């Protein structure tokens, strides 16, 4: 059971260190989906790589076989974790459900059972011998049919991840150069080691460095999430952003980093053309005080004024939250609408209403108790003078009088005329 270390193990040691870095940095994001997936990827690759080192380092064939079998606990988990991370980072995670993850784990679970029971059926490997011709001893074997089933399954998951990356490259918003290069590297780096190992390219081909390159891919994802925030910018609202819209639109992710904005927003805040991933506060400095009062996830509406050259314009800001298919908060849309003309019309209307109210206040109106003579029906004014009813009312209102006689007065003053009008039916 002697352990022999070789310089050829250095790539595997690097992979273990990188996995430790992944686990360390991502631990703070363990409550988020991408954090959980990256943790699973880091642990699985670390297990696989550690098993590789122990397999190559020990000299006993039996011990080598044991550790080679233990590696499959990580080998089966790596493709599932890797494609899950890629799906989240490219915003195609709608298929990531507990049911689907269980289904994806069925074949790897069967593979683990098959490798530990290989002595009874030989479906994973047979003709097993110890090859000591190189700088370190390795297991020489012939692969069985189930091994190739497992290989095709794992490669199928890796191809699925690459397809997800390629689909993302052709979806808006367009990526920056560094984002594009990182996504392409994440997609294709894990294949380099597999090609070297399968086709035995050079002396390093005795070691399967697939896990090493997977760890490099994982470290890129990790630093994209934790340090550079490049891969976490998800196109959650591009369908809402149209360049021909007159209203300014700004979209931020769950960490208030800019995802996208249209031409109207660029003109309104005098922005550059490439500010994606920048903190929202850095580019909306004219309304810093307003942003402090905007709630994190709830919809809200605000009004503010902004000077544009010599003019001062009024804007209405509507903030709406964005959620993915699983109702997880992903970001917000800031909708800026120029309401200067509407506010001007409102001010004009308020001015007219105020003028009307002022005019009405100046209009004399009759109210309260009016002292009136019980006999002649004259009305006493505030100065104590008695006025005819029609004279008083005319002075204190806009009413105008026309004179006539009632039926009783006609009968009293003009009895003949009364009788004539009565016969003609002119009197009520």
CA nearest to 248, candidates 174, 316, 321, 172: 316
Q: Report pLDDT for 401.
A: 67
Which token pair is 425?
A: 């039916």
pTM of the model: 0.57
Task: Tell me what the pLDDT averaged over the chain comes to.
Answer: 78
CA nearest to 115, candidates 104, 123, 107, 105: 123
Q: Report pLDDT for 307.
A: 78
Domain with CATH 3.30.450.20 in the chain: 238-343
Contact 71, 222 (CB under 8 A): no
Which of 103-117, 216-230, 382-396 comes out lowest in average pLDDT?
216-230
Of residues 205 and 262, more confidently modeled: 262
Query: pLDDT tens digit string along 216-241?
Result: 777 776 666 555 444 444 444 444 44
Q: Which of 79-83, 188-192, 236-240, 250-254 has the highest mean pLDDT?
A: 79-83
Number of neighbours of residue 98 by Cβ within 10 angstroms: 7
Residue with tokens 């039926």, as numbered in its chain:
407
Domain with CATH 1.20.1070 in the chain: 7-226
Residue with tokens 């003609």, as numbered in its chain:
424
Q: Report pLDDT for 112.
A: 94
Of residues 41 and 358, more confidently modeled: 41
For 41-70, what is the mean pLDDT? Answer: 89
CATH number of 238-343: 3.30.450.20
Query: pLDDT tens digit string along 131-172?
Result: 888 778 888 888 899 999 998 898 888 888 888 877 776 765
Q: Residue 111 pLDDT more than 90?
A: yes
Query: pLDDT tens digit string along 315-360?
Result: 888 888 887 656 778 788 888 888 888 888 888 888 888 877 776 6
Give the Cα separation of 203 and 51 in Å (integer). Answer: 20
Q: Report pLDDT for 198.
A: 58
Q: Report pLDDT for 239.
A: 45
Per CATH, which fold does 7-226 belong to?
Rhopdopsin 7-helix transmembrane proteins (1.20.1070)
Query: pLDDT tens digit string along 248-282?
Result: 888 888 778 887 788 888 888 888 766 767 788 87
Q: Which H or E run includes 363?
A: none
Q: Residue 379 pLDDT more than 70?
A: yes
CA nearest to 157, candidates 222, 224, 75: 75
Angle 179-185-186 (CA atoms, 0-180°, nearest 5)? 90
| Backbone φ, ψ for residue 218 (5° rounding) | -65, -35
Q: Report pLDDT for 309.
A: 64
For 367-394, what is the mean pLDDT? Answer: 72
Give the Cα separation of 412 and 389 in Å (integer). Answer: 22
Residues 6+ apart with CB under 8 A from 45: 15, 19, 74, 78, 211, 214, 215, 218
Q: What whole-number percentage of the chain has pLDDT above 70?
A: 76
Q: Report pLDDT for 232.
A: 44
Contact 43, 49 (CB under 8 A): no
> Residue 108: which pLDDT band, with cuts at 50, 70 and 90?
very high
Which of 198-207, 305-314, 410-419 comes out lowest in average pLDDT?
198-207
Q: Report pLDDT for 203.
A: 55
Give the Cα separation of 393 and 370 in Å (integer). Answer: 11
DSSP state of 257: B
For 102-130, what is the mean pLDDT? Answer: 93
């Amino acid at each position: 059971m002697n352990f022999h270390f070789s310089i050829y193990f250095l790539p595997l040691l690097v992979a273990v260190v990188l996995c430790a870095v992944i686990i360390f940095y991502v631990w703070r994001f363990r409550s988020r989906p991408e954090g959980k997936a990256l943790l699973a990827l880091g642990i699985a690759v670390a297990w696989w790589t550690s098993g590789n080192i122990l397999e190559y380092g020990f000299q006993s064939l039996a011990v080598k076989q044991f550790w080679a079998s233990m590696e499959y606990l990580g080998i089966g988990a790596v493709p599932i974790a890797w494609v899950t991370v890629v799906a989240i980072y490219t915003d195609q995670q709608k298929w990531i459900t507990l049911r689907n993850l269980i289904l994806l784990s069925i074949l790897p679970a069967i593979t683990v059972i098959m490798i530990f029971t290989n002595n009874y059926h030989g479906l994973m490997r047979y003709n097993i011998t110890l090859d000591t011709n190189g700088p370190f001893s390795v297991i020489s074997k012939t692969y069985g049919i189930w091994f190739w089933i497992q290989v095709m399954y794992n490669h199928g998951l890796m191809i699925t991840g690459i397809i997800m990356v390629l689909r993302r490259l052709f979806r808006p918003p367009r990526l920056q150069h560094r984002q594009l290069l990182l996504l392409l590297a994440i997609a294709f780096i894990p294949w380099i080691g597999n090609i070297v190992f399968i086709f035995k390219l050079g002396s390093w081909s005795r070691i399967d460095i697939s896990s090493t390159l997977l760890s490099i891919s994982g470290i890129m994802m990790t630093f994209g999430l934790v340090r550079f925030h490049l891969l976490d910018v998800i196109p959650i609202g591009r369908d809402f952003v149209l360049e021909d819209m007159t209203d300014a639109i700004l979209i931020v992710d769950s960490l208030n980093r800019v995802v996208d904005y249209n031409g109207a927003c660029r003109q309104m805040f005098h922005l550059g053309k490439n500010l994606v991933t920048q903190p929202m506060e850095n580019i909306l400095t004219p309304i810093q005080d307003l942003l402090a009062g905007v709630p994190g996830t709830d919809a809200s509406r605000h009004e503010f004024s902004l000077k544009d050259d010599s003019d001062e314009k009024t804007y209405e800001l509507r903030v709406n939250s964005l959620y993915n298919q699983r109702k997880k908060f992903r970001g917000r849309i800031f909708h800026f609408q120029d309401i200067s003309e509407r506010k001007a019309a409102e001010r004009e209307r308020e001015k007219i209403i105020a003028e009307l109210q002022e005019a009405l206040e100046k209009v004399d109106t009759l109210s309260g108790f009016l002292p009136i003579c019980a006999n002649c029906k004259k009305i006493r004014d505030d100065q104590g003078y008695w006025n005819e009813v029609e004279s008083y009312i005319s002075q204190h209102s806009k009413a105008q009088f026309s004179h006539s006689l009632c039926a009783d007065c006609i009968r009293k003053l003009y009895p003949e005329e009364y009788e004539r009008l009565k016969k003609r039916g002119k009197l009520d």
